[in-house]
């Protein structure tokens, strides 16, 4: 049971108690500005654990959850292919929405969501994506202030074992939102757009499908051209040989130090199980599963990250690290620390609070997320056709919601005294 909640904490209902929820749970439990009040999930065991551990109500349908008066905002953490329909139900009920990336798995669905948001005026935030990470927002703030002149170029690189972690069948089917473009490019593209102002003009890309037993995109490289002449190269490889955490001081994506170069799941491990068993493996490590870690992890000394990112401006090169920013300027190198909350992913709640309690416009709103997904769709189309893909629905970065880490980020964030587990 949660304790120590503020009287004005935002009541959050959850759709889907799977992997995304499991990763966000420390945030929901430890940040006093939010409290979990309700959930819906098809797994009985997960619902039981939600009631027992977190003290919230559980429901059979999304519609029933939305009738709960304690629910002010709904966190949609279901599989990608359900986002659009569930957002429609939640918006019709007048609840604020925090939906996991990607916004949707077709551009048509993205347009429908934007139309629904315009009609209902329900606030929508799309995340968590790694564009919420503290050093990303810190760098975006400095760059948007023009301290280093115009932004000219960026490079982003990430090598992981993504494709060989346990997957449900639809996660290996691009048509259902599977593969690294929907799951991983959504992080990388969102991050680069925030750092470079948002306005991508064209995309040229290649994708890799190199294992017939995992029949979806496992890798991509993309060149993004931005308005004004800037450009960025994005590379992601999820085939599990090299681990680019080596470039981040052996700190993994979640901010933990891991000195090993070996991955937890390899081709060999998954070759020993069938499709049904693989699905069970994935469910076992999630909330309510047999292998779920019920204790809340201690705060890490590092920010989360999504691989190596280097941004070049007229007056400096800026490298994002797990503690802040390395700034290379005039033949010298300096370091600017990014303040870190004790609550993981507090930046997500920063934005949720600003939108729900203070009436501000979201940085990661529906139009912004549609523009990110337009880039992702363009990666797939360019790889398929061999052509440059011109973009039409980009939106510029909203300057006013960039946090100011140099003036005290997360000043309103406090950890709950006795978080549930």
DSSP-assigned states of every residue in 192-253: HHHHHTS-EEEEEEEEE---TTS-S--EEEEEEEETTS-EEEEEEE-SSSS-GGGGGTTB-T
pLDDT of residue 296: 59
The whole-number average pLDDT for the span 105-132 is 95
**What is the arithmetic mean of pLDDT over 236-255?**
94
| Position 401 pLDDT exceeds 60 | no
For residues 286 and 290, what is the distance between their CA atoms, to the nearest angstrom?
Answer: 8
Percent of the chain with pLDDT over 90: 79
Residue 123 has pLDDT above 70, yes or no: yes
Q: Which of 197, 241, 200 is nearest to 222 (CA)?
A: 200
Of the spans 117-131, 275-289, 406-420, which averages the highest pLDDT?
Answer: 117-131
Residues 6+ apart with CB under 8 A from 217: 174, 179, 180, 181, 207, 208, 209, 380, 383
Contact at 8 Å (CB) between 160 and 357? Answer: no
pLDDT confidence of residue 405: 43
If you search the block for the tokens 């000043």, which residue do you land on?
411
pLDDT of residue 84: 94
Residue 396 has pLDDT above 60, yes or no: yes
CA 390 to chain CA centroid, Å, is: 25
Residue 102, preceding peptide bond in cis (omega within 30° of 0): yes
Q: What is the DSSP letter of 362?
A: P
Residue with tokens 């934005």: 351
What is the average per-residue pLDDT within 87-114? 96
First to last CA, the chain: 8
DSSP structure string for 261-312 = -S-SS-HHHHTTS-HHHHHHHHHHTSTTSTT---SPPPPPSS----SEEEEE
The pLDDT, as a whole number, for residue 407 is: 40
Mean pLDDT in residue range 97-112 = 96
CB neighbour class for 173 (10 Å; exposed up to 12, middle 13-18, buried from 19)? middle
Model confidence pLDDT, tens digit, residues 360-393: 999 999 999 999 999 999 999 999 999 999 999 9
pLDDT at 264: 57
25, 369, 201, 236: CA torsion to nearest 10: 30
pLDDT at 150: 96
- Going by C-alpha positions, the residue among 39, 107, 113 that lies closest to residue 288 is 39
Domains of the chain: 10-130+343-366 (3.40.50.720), 133-342+370-401 (3.30.360.10)
pLDDT range class, residue 412, cuts 50, 70, 90 = low
Mean local confidence (pLDDT), 101-127: 95
DSSP string, 150-170: SEEEEEEEEE--GGGS---GG
- Which of 417, 376, 413, 421 lies closest to 80, judged by CA? 376
Q: Higher model confidence: residue 292 or residue 281? A: 292
């Amino acid at each position: 049971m949660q304790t120590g909640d503020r009287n004005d904490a935002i009541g959050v209902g959850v759709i889907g108690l799977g992997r995304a929820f499991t990763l966000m749970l420390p945030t929901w439990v430890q940040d006093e500005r939010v409290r979990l009040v309700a959930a819906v999930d098809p797994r009985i065991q997960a619902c039981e654990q939600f009631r027992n551990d977190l003290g919230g109500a559980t429901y059979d349908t999304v519609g029933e959850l939305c009738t709960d008066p304690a629910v002010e905002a709904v966190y949609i953490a279901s599989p990608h292919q359900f986002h659009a329909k569930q957002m429609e139900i939640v918006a019709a009920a007048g609840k604020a929405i925090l939906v996991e990336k990607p916004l949707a798995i077709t551009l048509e669905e993205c347009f429908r969501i934007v139309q629904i948001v315009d009609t209902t005026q329900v606030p929508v935030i799309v995340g968590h994506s790694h564009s919420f990470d503290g050093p990303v927002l810190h760098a975006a703030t400095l760059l948007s202030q023009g301290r280093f002149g115009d932004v000219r170029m960026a490079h982003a690189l990430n090598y992981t074992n993504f494709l060989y972690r346990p997957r449900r069948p639809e996660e290996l089917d691009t048509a259902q939102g599977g593969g690294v473009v929907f799951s991983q490019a959504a992080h990388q593209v969102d991050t680069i757009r925030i750092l470079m102002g948002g306005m991508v003009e064209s995309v040229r890309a290649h994708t890799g499908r190199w294992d017939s037993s995992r029949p979806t995109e496992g890798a991509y490289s993309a060149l993004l051209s931005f308005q004004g002449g800037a450009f960025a190269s994005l590379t992601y490889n999820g085939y599990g040989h090299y681990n680019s955490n080596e470039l981040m001081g052996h700190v993994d994506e979640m901010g933990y130090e891991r000195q090993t170069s070996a991955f937890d799941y390899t081709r060999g491990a998954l070759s020993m199980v069938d499709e049904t068993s693989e699905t069970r493996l994935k469910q076992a490590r999630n909330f309510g599963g047999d292998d779920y870690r019920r204790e809340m992890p201690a705060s890490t000394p590092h920010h989360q990250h999504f691989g190596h990112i280097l941004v070049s401006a007229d007056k400096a090169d800026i490298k994002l690290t797990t503690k802040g920013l390395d700034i290379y300027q005039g033949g010298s190198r300096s370091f600017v620390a990014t303040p870190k909350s004790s609550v993981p992913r507090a930046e997500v709640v920063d934005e949720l609070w600003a939108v729900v309690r203070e009436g501000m416009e979201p940085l990661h709103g529906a139009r912004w997320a549609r523009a990110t997904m337009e880039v992702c769709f363009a990666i797939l189309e360019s790889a398929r056709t061999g052509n440059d893909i011109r973009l039409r629905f980009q939106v510029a970065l909203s300057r006013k919601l960039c946090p100011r880490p140099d003036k005290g980020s997360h000043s309103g964030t406090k950890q709950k005294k006795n978080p549930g587990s």
